Amino acid sequence: MIVDDEVAFGQMVKLNLEGTGEYEVMVENKGERAYDAIKEFAPDMIFLDVIMPDVDGAEIARQIRADKTLKQIPVIFLTAMVKESKENSRKSIIAGYPHPCLAKPVTVQKLIECIKKNVI
């Protein structure tokens, strides 16, 4: 699942990941609807934008971690606020938990590597 207020970014990621034939992707562009969409879709993993105009990614992550049925889902933050490092991802403490972070813009290959690394 992709939660990002940038509609074009979410759709691009969805098309590219689904184009591999290996993934089914849901996109939610409104932070205020993200928690309910996550509960409904029950994703294996969530790519979550940090800064959104209505509800930020940290608050959504807190809601996920507080829900016993969702708290095991890996959350990966996608943000323009971190710089790309030599590692595929960096970990940041957001919403009280360590979460991997990927810098935007991000390649589809990096997203796929992240999925393979974080989904059990």
From first to last of its 120 residues, the chain has per-residue pLDDT tens of: 999 999 999 999 999 999 999 999 999 999 999 999 999 999 999 999 999 999 999 999 999 999 999 999 999 998 887 555 444 445 555 555 567 888 888 899 999 999 999 885
pTM of the model: 0.86
Residue with tokens 């030599």: 86
- Where do the domains of the chain lie? 2-118
- Using CA atoms of 52, 53, 59, 65 in order, give the dihedral in degrees to the nearest 10: -50
Give pLDDT, residue 94. Answer: 57
Answer for the pair 49, 79: CB distance below 8 angstroms, yes or no: yes
| Second-level CATH architecture of 2-118 | 3-Layer(aba) Sandwich (3.40)
Distance CA 81, CA 78 (A): 9
